[in-house]
Amino acid sequence: MNDQTIDYGYAVSTSEQRNKVLRNTYWLLALSLLPTVLGAWIGVATGITRSLTGGVGLIVFLAGAFGFMFAIEKTKNSAAGVPVLLAFTFFMGLMLSRLIAMVLGFKNGPSLVMTAFGGTAGVFFVMASLASVIKRDLSGMGKFLFVGALAIMIGGIINVFVGSTVGMMVISVMAIGIFSAYMLYDLKRIIDGGETNYISATLALYLDIFNVFQSLLALLGLTGGSND
């Protein structure tokens, strides 16, 4: 059987190319977590993001995130691509620090953070395993997942101004489900040769992981936070 090419509705690439993209993606994804942790630590230690509440925080986050993603897309085929991606992950760590600081304010805060981290790692392991064994084409999932992610973003923006705890819990549960499925979809695209740029692939997976972790942490903080 000829293993030179494969086509599941994506771009066609050789097996060697697909493996290289997947390997480089995993390495860069692991590297991208370091600036995230650093950004989160600086944010918690200095309280620099403490004032970013309500509409101001939303504007800063959306402007920064979409600005960086636009820059990553423009530089993904150049030497500047990796530094720009790492700068983006540092920014995301800073933005995450406010939630982490709030959760760490609970008596059991450290254990909640570790639980969210372990849960996210578990989700990634399961999705990576599924992506490696599933043979069917998952490209049809893309449209439904995009609609789901868009609904979560709109719901999240509305809830920033409404401030509903129940709304936040619902959004968090939905985000865990949607972005876990996105993880499977994005990993399958890389494995099948649908994504040939490892910087773009890393960005997609990073956003999946970030959203699952953030949503898990928010949900755990809302339901399991204790000051006793």
The string of pLDDT tens digits covering residues 23-77 is: 999 999 999 999 999 999 999 998 887 777 767 778 888 899 999 999 999 999 8
Identify the three-state secondary structure at position 60.
helix
Q: What is the pLDDT of residues 122-150, one digit of tens each?
A: 999 999 999 888 888 788 888 899 999 99
Q: Please give the structure tokens belonging to residue 104.
A: 């760490």
C-alpha–C-alpha distance, residues 41 and 98, integer Å: 10
Task: Inform me whether the pLDDT recorded for 225 exceeds 70.
Answer: no
Q: What percent of the chain has pLDDT over 90?
A: 52
Helical residues (DSSP H) of 47-106, grouped into ranges: 54-75, 81-104
pLDDT at position 121 is 94
> pLDDT digits over 19-38, tens only?
888 899 999 999 999 999 99
Q: Is the pLDDT of residue 10 over 50?
A: no
C-alpha to C-alpha distance for 137 and 213, rounded to whole angstroms: 27
CA neighbor of 84 nearest in space, from 226, 199, 216: 199
Residue 2 has pLDDT above 50, yes or no: no
- The model carries a pTM of 0.87
How far CA 85 is from CA of 31, 71, 89, in Å, comes to 10, 9, 6
Per-residue confidence (pLDDT) for residue 199, from 0 to 100: 93
Do 187 and 138 touch, CB atoms closer than 8 A?
Answer: no
Which pairs from 3-7 meet CB under 8 Å and 24+ separation? 6/192, 6/193, 7/193
Chain mean pLDDT for the chain: 86
When pLDDT is averaged across residues 85-90 and rounded to a whole number, the result is: 95
What is the pLDDT at residue 11? Answer: 43
pLDDT at res. 56: 78
With beta carbons less than 8 A apart as the criterion, state whether 49 and 43 touch.
Answer: yes
184-214 exposure pattern, b = at least 16 Cβ within 10 A, e = fewer: bbbbbbbbbbbbbbbbbbbbbbbbbbbbbbb
Four-residue CA torsion sign, 118, 121, 123, 126 = negative
Biggest CA pair distance of the chain: 63
Say how many C-beta atoms besides its own lie within 10 A of residue 53's C-beta.
11
Q: How many CA atoms lie within 13 A of 29 on its CB side?
A: 22
* Short-list 208, 198, 196, 51, CA closest to 121: 208
- Could you tell me which of 201, 206, 205 has the C-alpha nearest to residue 36? 206
